[in-house]
Copies of this chain bind each other. A is one copy, B any other.
Amino acid sequence: MREFNIVGKHVPRNDARAKATGTAIYTDDIKLPGMLHGRILRSPLPHARILRIDTSKAAALPGVRCVITGEDTPKIKYGNWRLFPDTQDEYPLAIDKVRFIGDEVAAVAAVDLDTAEEALSLIEVEYEELPAVFDVESAIAQGAPVLHDYCPSNISVNRKIQYGDLEKAFAEADYVREDTFTVHAVSHAYLEPCSSVAQADLDGRITLWTSTQTPYITQCLLASTMNMRENDIRVIKPFVGGGFGGKMELRTWEFCAAFMAKKTGRPVKFTLSREEEFLAGRRRHPMKLTSKVGFKKDGTLTGKDLRIHLDGGAYNAMGPTATFLCGNFGAMLYRYPSYRFFGEHVYTNKPPASAMRGFGAPQSIFATETQMNIAAEELGIDPIELRLKNAQVSGDKIPDVATISTCGFKESLEKVAEMCNWKEKRAQYKTGGGKGIGIGCYSFISGGVFNWFNTQYPFSAAEVRAFDDGTVHLLTMAADIGQGCDTVVKQILAEELGLKMEDIRITSADTSMTPQADLGAWGSRLTLMNGNAVIDAARKIKEQIFGMVSVRFNLNVIHEMECKDGKVFPKGRPQRSMTFGEAVAMAQKANRGEPLVARGYYTPRDKGMVTPAFSFGAQVAEVEVDKETGIVQVKKFWTAHDCGTVINPKAVEGQLEGAIQMGLGYTLSEQFIMDGGKTLNTTFLDYKMPNAMDMPPSETAHIDTYEPEGPMGAKEAGEGLAIPTAPAIAAAVHHATGYRCKDLPITPEKILNATKSL
């Protein structure tokens, strides 16, 4: 492990004090003079033609300042896949048709929330109800109702990957098995409901404060839907209370706030209720996955054939990416000599699914890992042994997709086995005996390479301004949404420049002030991508101040320099040091007063199609299942994972805890109860998210790797950890009960039904 001063240390988070003291300003905390409050009218029908909307009564209600429908808007579609405009299928407000219960039909802005709410009830909408489809099978059946005219098949996107000779693979296999898995939708359930405040200035420019993961994407798409120039929109991200993929697109209320602010000349705020979030919010893709794998007798994999249908809901949202990534994740973890993937994204009359922590991997890898556990059992090989035999290693290539530069997967497997006493417990607990342990593994991306947003800027950027008082100012559009990237990039900068955390002022996520651009907080991209941009900027600063040290001490040209403890000096000769501030002052003097400013950039190049770096890990869950009730109690988790250099151990720990909480819910308790396209459980009372009391103890080990493409060796630790929990619990439940789950979630009913018949 390399030696660092600040990287790898338990540095308190940048936002900790503000959040602990309640002074952190979230979007809904923003109050502007004359501000109006907005509400959205949503469709009560899953699929219908809009025949008539009469807003006159609503508009006449005292206190109402603005009512709009799709007809008032420029009617420009948007969607995150800007590289393929055909995929952009969404209007800010419905034009002609609604496609799910909760689809946005009209918006009201009034002097207070009650008036806005009352006005909604005065809007008359005449619908012609259309037949609707609520699952993939019905949606792709012959004669199914068509959601979007441009897409008569309801299959909006497909993705193929193929390499190796799959026929041969299965022919040569000693053991081939095919399983079909289904996984369900869950909610991001971020604690901060979506909120946006827009203000139009007198030049017609818009400032939008919004709870978003992607200020830059929001800026661009808002501009296009408003028919405005990109840079006449300024997007500022205040504190954000979680996103998990659910806040990475332009959303109706962002458009409505901006559009109505421009129309009324007054600031407009929209804050969603929790009910709206559950009723109509984005969610994780339900999928049906059919996986066929071949093995040699000794457990060596020969090939894999994976077919997936994604239930996308009414719009594409981030579905195309999920479709792509499912295929990529299907080829991860193990060495498949041949591999074929075919994925299809299908429209249904439900709230759109979209990106959610793991982005296709929780689903795809649940299938991979569960099937691996089944195969291990049938081949009579220990599940960890089977994995070790096939595990990917550093340098492995997935043809045309990616090269794995560093891989601590085998080490993770060995470490987790040791941590949990795997062998002993596997032997000790008899299958069906009520107690069990099981393993699940993961790999994840450290940011994406495929430029679906078609940004014209580097993927990430940073500006560093160095001052003669020994401080620096870091400006970055990277969005801290609670995951802690402000802290991480400050640590990286402090390490690179030999400064303390308190020497760094950070300004982040303001599209008018921070450098163009950053694609946002998704795909676990920021540590690596923004971190690299920060290092690039810092090195440009160092180049200049190193020169000054050379001048001051009349150094031989061969000296390497370093920045450490607030000083700059030739390596190994700290007696010839200047303070950082002195060196900056001298560089500034040499530049005849011009301040020391540098911009750094990062764009992954020659890094395949997926990501510059993969994380890996393995997790073991130990469960106890009540035979009478079928209730699963997870007793403990052990996790060994490879995220490269751990920049901030506390932050990684936090990610892991959050991931386990999400994984627990995904596996055991969370689901949307739907009836005819309507989400019935729209409160935290009915939507069963695990809370602090449900959290089992957990042990973790970081595998020591150094990722050359990552900043100071780091890779992702944000999403991957959310993946292994479901297959690990499912395996442990099988161990405890004999019930093999192939359709999440694992409910007591399923266990009882299954064990009854066993």
Contact = CB atoms under 8 A, between A and B. Distances in A.
Interface in A474-493: none
Contacts of A121: none
B505 A231 contact: yes
A229 B202 CA distance: 37
Contacts of A682: none
Interface stretch (A104-112, A453-461, A571-579): A453-461
Given A17-B202, A231-B471, A512-B505, A458 B599 contact: no
Given A513-B513, A595-B461, A599-B597, A456 B229 contact: no
B592 A470 contact: no
A471 B588 CA distance: 30
Given A230-B467, A473-B512, A457 B599 contact: no
A594 B599 CA distance: 9
A192 interface: no
A592 B599 contact: no
Contact of A593 (B458, B513, B588): B458
A331 interface: no
Contacts of A599: 594, 597
A23 B588 contact: no
A502 interface: yes
Given A467-B231, A593-B457, A202 B23 contact: yes
Contact of A471 (B204, B232, B456, B585): B232
A229 B470 contact: yes
A203 interface: yes
A468 B39 CA distance: 35
Given A205-B505, A455-B593, A473-B512, 20 more contacts: A17-B202, A18-B201, A18-B202, A21-B202, A203-B502, A229-B469, A230-B467, A231-B467, A231-B473, A232-B471, A232-B505, A456-B585, A456-B588, A456-B589, A507-B512, A515-B595, A515-B597, A517-B595, A592-B603, A594-B601
Interface string A493-507: 000000000100101
A516 interface: yes
Interface residues of A, number: 45
Nearest to A472: B231
Interface in A99-141: none
A204 B513 CA distance: 22
A499 to B, nearest CB: 12
A458 B591 CA distance: 10
Contacts of A18: 201-202
Copies in the complex: 2
Contact of A469 (B204, B231, B505, B585): B231
A535 to B, nearest CB: 16
Nearest to A459: B593
Interface of A: 17-18, 21, 23, 201-205, 223, 229-232, 455-458, 461, 465, 467-471, 473, 502, 505, 507, 512-513, 515-517, 585, 588-589, 592-595, 597, 599, 601, 603
A28 to B, nearest CB: 14
A11 to B, nearest CB: 13
A603 B592 CA distance: 9
Given A458-B592, A507-B513, A595-B461, A469 B205 contact: no
A201 to B, nearest CB: 8
21 contacts: A21-B202, A203-B502, A204-B502, A223-B469, A229-B471, A230-B469, A230-B471, A231-B467, A232-B471, A456-B468, A456-B588, A457-B594, A458-B594, A465-B516, A467-B516, A505-B512, A507-B512, A513-B513, A516-B595, A517-B595, A593-B601
A234 B468 CA distance: 16
Closest 9 CB pairs of A and B: A17-B202, A229-B469, A516-B595, A231-B471, A458-B593, A231-B467, A230-B469, A457-B593, A513-B513
A457 B507 contact: no
A468 to B, nearest CB: 6
Nearest to A18: B202
Contacts of A455: 593
Most buried by B among A229, A231, A457: A231
Given A203-B502, A513-B507, A595 B457 contact: yes
A119 to B, nearest CB: 26
Nearest to A506: B203
Contacts of A23: 202
A230 B466 CA distance: 12
Nearest to A467: B231
Nearest to A502: B203
Nearest to A233: B469
A437 to B, nearest CB: 44
Contacts of A467: 229-231, 516
A229 B201 CA distance: 34
Contacts of A601: 593-594
A89 B456 CA distance: 55
Contacts of A473: 231, 512
